[in-house]
Structure 1
Amino acid sequence: MLLLKRFPDQRNARPGVRMTRQEFMQWLKNVDLNGDGLISKEELMNALKALGLSWTWWKARRALARADLDKNGYINGSKEEEALADFFTEQWGIVFT
C-alpha cells in the first residue's frame, strides 16, 4: 500500500502537513484495498494504522460518521471523499495546497 505522508496524531499534532487534494484522493484510492470503489471502516482503520496513528478503530468510526453522507456504511463518491478530506483537515491539521 502506497501511503503519501504520515498524518499527525492528535496527541502530537504537527499543524500544517501539506499535500494537494489530488495526493489525498490518490491516497484514498490506495485505501480501497479490494478495489470496489467503496471505503469501509475496516479499510480506513487499516490505512490509519499504517500511518502510525493510535486508536484507529475510534478515529475511523468518527471519520466515517462524519463523511458517510448517505449513511450506507462506506465512503463512496466525490461528495463523501470531500467530506472526509474536510474532516481530516479539521481533526488532523492537513492543509491542502
Structure 2
Amino acid sequence: MAIKPTYLRTPIDGKIQMSPEEFKKWLKKFDSDKDGRINKEELCEAIRAEGGWFARLKCKDGLKLADKDGNGFIDDNEIKYLKDFAFKHLGVKIVTY
C-alpha cells in the first residue's frame, strides 16, 4: 500500500493541510522560469490551479502581502507571509505537525 503525501489529507473544513515545507515545495512547482522565486504570473497560475476565481486580482494582493523587500518576487524567505493568503485563496491550511 502506497503512502500518500501529507498534503493530500483533507480535514473536515475541506482545506488541504500542508506543512510549511510542503507548501513551499508545492508553490515552487509554479516557478516556470526556474529562478527560485515566485512572480505575479506564477502566483496567478497557482491560484488558477486550485480553481480560484479572479486570479489576477488575488495574485496582485498576494504579492503585495508577501513581497517584503518590494522587488516584485516572493523568495524562499517571504513564502511564510503567504500563510493566511493560502488559507483564504488556495484552500491550503499550513500547519506544523
Aligned residues: 84
Structure with max Cα Rg: 2
In structure 1, C-alpha distance between the alignment counterparts of 2:15 and 2:46, rounded to whole Å:
20
Q: What TM-score, normalized by structure 2, do the two folds share?
A: 0.73
In structure 2, C-alpha distance between the alignment counterparts of 1:45 and 1:16, rounded to whole Å:
19
Query: Is residue 40 from structure 1 mapped to residue 39 from structure 2 by the alignment?
Result: yes
Corresponding position of 2:58: 59
TM-superposed deviation, 1:43: 0.7
In structure 2, C-alpha distance between the alignment counterparts of 1:83 and 1:95, rounded to whole Å:
11
In structure 2, C-alpha distance between the alignment counterparts of 1:81 and 1:48, rounded to whole Å:
15
Task: Tell me the amino acid that sits aligned with residue 82 of structure 2.
Answer: L
In structure 2, C-alpha distance between the alignment counterparts of 1:19 and 1:77, rounded to whole Å:
16
Contact 2:23–2:94, Cα closer than 8 Å, also in 1:
no
Q: Which fold has the larger relative contact order, with Cα–Cα distance below 8 Å and residues 6 or more apart in sequence?
A: 1
Task: Report which of the two has the higher share of helix.
Answer: 1
Corresponding position of 1:8: none
Task: Report which of the two has the higher share of strand.
Answer: 1
Q: Which runs of 5+ in 2 are unaligned?
A: 1-6
Contact 2:20–2:94, Cα closer than 8 Å, also in 1:
no
**Percentage of identical aligned residues:** 37
Q: What TM-score, normalized by structure 1, do the two folds share?
A: 0.73
